[in-house]
Structure 1
Amino acid sequence: MARVAPKHSQIWKPYDRPSTTARRMILIIFLIFLALPLTGMVYFTFRSATGGFTFDHWAELFSAGESSSWDLLATGVINSVILVIVTIAIEYVIVIPALIVIHVKLPRIHRAMRVLMLLPIAIPAIILVVGFAPIFAVVADYVSSDSWTLALAYGVIALPFVYTTIDADLNGLNASTITEAAQSLGANWWTILTGLIVPCLRKSIISATLITTAIVLGEFTIASLLNRDTLQTELITISQSDVYLSVIITLIVLVLTFIALFLVSGFGRKKDHQ
């Protein structure tokens, strides 16, 4: 007797997505969770020393062009932007191509690499500094002691996040099979990497870029212990003399980061539609 094939709805029923109402509720809860600390920060910036409300703290932000706090802030922002650029360049030029090569060419060491890539997230930053200090002493002697050299350390602490993001897409893409098929058609490795695999990893690369940017802009421990000037270390210095200005700058940085995130996400969706 012939078996009756299960209906399509029966096959996919266990994997049904949440309803529209459930998705909206999850989004609302997430937005509330995100908005609470921002609301507290905004409220704090309008508080006066006597307990009332005032706009003086925001006015001081735009009238402090010659103050030492503004100079410290400019130094921290410039150094952090340079760090973001250098760290992302390291991820693009070294880390991501290496992950693709390991996944496609060296699958036998994939499990060992997974353990190594996840180690930086398991080791506290204070312990990582103990290992970084001798290395940066040599870097300072032979290369430079400027703040941009911190990108070497930030590239390491961003490894777990970049690895998990890229590796998930590589597994879903089945990159090994695609590579073998392209090679059988005569494509060389450079063409496969730049014309086939990397375009398919665009979403994960954008996500890795945003995560790396957030790590670099928010990291404090390593920069402080290695005596480097970044946005976070300068904000701590500013807060010792003007805590309101420090909170205002932090709030502006967070808002600009969220705007950049939505812009990049919208760019990725636009590319998908195209």
Structure 2
Amino acid sequence: MQVLMGQLLIGLINGAFFAVMSLGLAVIFGMLNIVHFAHGAMYMLGAFAAWMGLTYLGINYWASLLLAPLVVGALGVLIERLLLSRLYKLDPLYGLLMTFGLALLLEGLFRRFYGVSGQNYPMPPELSGGRNLGFMFLPNYRAWVIVASLTVCFATWFLIEKTRLGAYLRAGTENAKLLQAFGVNVPLLVTLTYAYGVGMAALAGVLAAPIYQVSSMMGSNIIIFVFAVVVIGGMGSILGSILTGLGLGLLQGLTKVFYPEASQAVIFLIMALVLLVRPAGLFGKEA
């Protein structure tokens, strides 16, 4: 039972990262119709922004939770305005290739200066230690990651599904020209949407920094799983990204208990089955 609950906890933590990352991907795809392959690089940038802020400027973890997404989001504004905005009228394949090249560029740049061995980021003192639940020991920081990730995910869902701004976003995905005719600044809305999506990836990077080593390869190690989550949940589906990310994280943790060799492959097996039965994903809209 201790092994089972421990692996389920690890799976829930991984699922929380999957959910936050895939949610940012879903937001970007839903509004911009771009398969954002640079999302893993933005996750890596968020972790490095926190590490560099602490190392060179003395900025603590709590300030980095706010500043790192803002910095990466500002970079996202430049990327969207200078690069991606030129591709919206072209085949989506061009956006995928552009963001894939951008990911390689950013990872190569950080690998050149910081290598691949990774940098340690200290855990905030307020979240050190843990609690004995009887059947297992729960570290405080890992509990914080789960709570913070769920809060961000469902706040994003509420923003998009239940507010006027979210209505504009959803209308923009259906008919951007009509929305602009009603006086809404659609290009600004698209830019802010992209900035928010990459900012969520950066936030996940800050949350991951005290658990995993901050390295130039950390984004490429997780992005393939995140894409699988988005495909299973449905491209552009907000609720699908959240529920699928958490569910697959738990399933991966459960698989490690009974059949560890399949823990990495189980997500892709499910993706293949879902694509055969429902190509639009579990929560996606049929074309």
Q: State the TM-score, normalized to the length of structure 2.
A: 0.31
Higher helix proportion (structure 1 or 2): 1
Higher relative contact order (CA 8 A, sep 6+): 2
Give the structure with higher Rg (CA): 1
